[in-house]
Amino acid sequence: MTRLLSAAAIALALAALPGVGGTQSLQGGQPIMWGADEGSVTPTAISLRGRAELTQGRNRIRADRIEGSISNGDLTRVEATGGVYFVTPDQTIRGDRAIYTPANDTIVLSGDVILTQGENVMTGGRLTYNIRTEAARMDGAGQNGRVQGVFYPERGGN
């Protein structure tokens, strides 16, 4: 059972983190580290609970709970809930819930979403982020449905 849990967690970690491609991509062959207070696995699902975390290279997803769906040996969906953080060397994205779809390299965070990149900050209710292309779309939250942000211009050497 321990070997099966380890193999399933590695498969989950590989699919849950960015694929090879752009600047935030993972390097193929890098080790995957994972941890949680407890976990379980079946042929169709994996569940990590309590300080759940997946790390590969310099990218990490962390949440209170991470659930994965498996179909024909492939991870088809990852859902993270409770204090979700997706962290790369350049960005930190925080939300209440995240759904990652490996087929299209898209992670959707909802709840009180905060995206930071350096000094720049953007907030809203829902963020759709493509890990491969780094394209982001933030939708508003609350009654006014607004997206808010602070962006600092690049400082030149003059």
21-38 pLDDT per residue, tens: 332 333 344 555 678 999
Question: Which pLDDT score, from 0 to 100, does residue 2 have?
Answer: 38
| 3 state DSSP class of 54 | strand
Rounded distance, CA 31 to CA 58, Å?
11
Is this prediction's pTM over 0.85?
no
Question: Which pLDDT score, from 0 to 100, does residue 138 have?
Answer: 94
Q: Express each pLDDT in 50-109 by its tens digit.
A: 999 877 677 788 999 999 888 886 668 889 999 999 998 889 999 999 998 878 888 899
| Residue of 145 and 32 predicted with greater confidence | 145
Q: Which domains does the chain have, with CATH numbers?
A: 2-150 (2.60.450.10)
Indicate the length of the chain as a whole number. Answer: 158
